[in-house]
Amino acid sequence: MNVSDAMTARKSIRAFTDEPIANEVLESLLAKAARAPSGGNVQPWRIFVINGDAMSRFRQVVREKRAPEPAEYAIYPDGLKDPYRTARFTVGEQMYALLNIPREDKPARLRRLAENFNFFGAPAAIFCYVDRQMGPPQWSDLGMFLQSFMLLATEAGYGTCAQEAWANRAQTVTEFVEADPSLMLFCGIAIGKTDPTAPVNSLVSERFTPSEFATFV
């Protein structure tokens, strides 16, 4: 699989099989992803892997801790304007349509939202942290590292879903993985084999074209 094929094939997977993934596979993907660009070679990402028995224990902890937690950061800015607002709204409606959940069924939508915190059934996940002293340039490094990880996972035959929703459960995650308080949780990534029977996995989000986002000077 070449890079273009991996870019085309990669998408957010929201239903996984329970087929396990070996820690050795995850370590190999992380080692390759570590070649991602990093300004000044700072390499600010700090990764915690949840797999096997750890995943079972973590899911139990999440089920038991239902109290609201302070968010690590605002996932979307207040007053999100167009065209960004419409793009976000559209993909959400497309997803719920595939799940056959109408807009007026708020309880069903909330239950579906809670599936974020079950990794959509994935057998493994990684959590990406960054030192709190880091700024926007280092956060961009995280994005390049995580994109590299997801493309490599695609090449290896695994689906992924990047989940910033975990910023709303950062306290639970940090306590479980025993991350140092100097580290800030950015996101989780669910990883596993894609469930080919799940309609939600047929969703391919629409993207702006170069004519809409690029200016040739």
pLDDT of residue 67: 86
Nearest C-alpha neighbor of 191 from the set 5, 28, 3: 28
Could you read off the pLDDT of 166-179 as tens digits, one per residue?
Answer: 999 999 999 999 99
Query: Which position has the token pair 């050795």?
Result: 24
Model confidence pLDDT, tens digit, residues 17-41: 999 999 999 999 999 999 999 999 9
Average pLDDT score over residue span 129-136: 97
Inter-residue contact 183 to 132 (CB < 8 Å): yes
pLDDT of residue 70: 94
Give the mean pLDDT of the chain.
96
The closest of 136, 148, 112, 111 to 186, measured between CA atoms, is: 136
Contact status, residue 103 vs residue 89, Cβ threshold 8 Å: no
* CATH code of the domain occupying 3-75+117-199: 3.40.109.10
Buried/exposed 3-31: b ≥16 CB within 10 Å, e otherwise = eeebeeebbbbbbbbeeebeeebbeebbe
Report the pLDDT value the prediction gives residue 171, as an integer from 0 to 100: 96
Q: What is the pLDDT of residues 106-124, one digit of tens each?
A: 999 999 989 999 999 999 9
d(CA 190, CA 209): 28
Does residue 66 surpass a pLDDT of 90? no
Q: Quick one: which of 5, 1, 21 has its CA closest to 160?
A: 21
pLDDT of residue 149: 98
What whole-number percentage of the chain has pLDDT above 70? 100
Token pair for 146: 């995580």
Q: Could you report the per-residue pLDDT of 89-99, keeping only the tens digit for each?
A: 999 999 999 99
Question: Could you tell me the residue ranges of all domains in the chain?
Answer: 3-75+117-199
- Whether 150 has a pLDDT exceeding 90, the answer reads yes
Q: What whole-number distance in Å separates Cα of residue 6 and Cα of residue 74?
A: 30
